[in-house]
Amino acid sequence: MLVLRAVSNFEALYLSRSINRMNEAVGSALAGGARTPPTAADGVNIARVITNELDSARFDPLLVRAVAKNATSSLELLVTRVDALVSCALPVIGM
């Protein structure tokens, strides 16, 4: 029982750091705002970070599942923020 608690604490810390890394990649890609939209290199960087996180967790199927759920959350954050950028850019473009 004691070992399971220790592993559970380690897993929670790992997942917290993992989602932070993925969200930092999303945040840095969109740091320029509407004036400097994300580039293809930013998209590759986000994909690389998510791939690395999934690859690092591959030894435990349940951990991979939790990391994949966090990756989904990070990608939803990306979509939400890009939608906001597009909404801000449309009045400037004149559409």
Domain boundaries, the chain: 2-93
The three-class DSSP label of residue 80 is helix
pLDDT for 29 equals 93
Nearest to 67 by CA among 54, 78, 55: 54
User: Are 86 and 65 a contacting pair, CB within 8 Å?
Assistant: no
Supply 56's token pair. Answer: 């690092």
Q: Residue 91: what pLDDT?
A: 60
pLDDT tens track, the chain, 95 positions: 656 566 788 899 999 999 999 999 999 999 987 788 889 999 999 999 999 999 999 999 999 999 999 999 999 999 999 998 887 766 655 55
Tell me the one-letter amino acid at 3.
V
> What's the CA gap between 48 and 79, in Å, rounded?
17
pLDDT of residue 35: 80
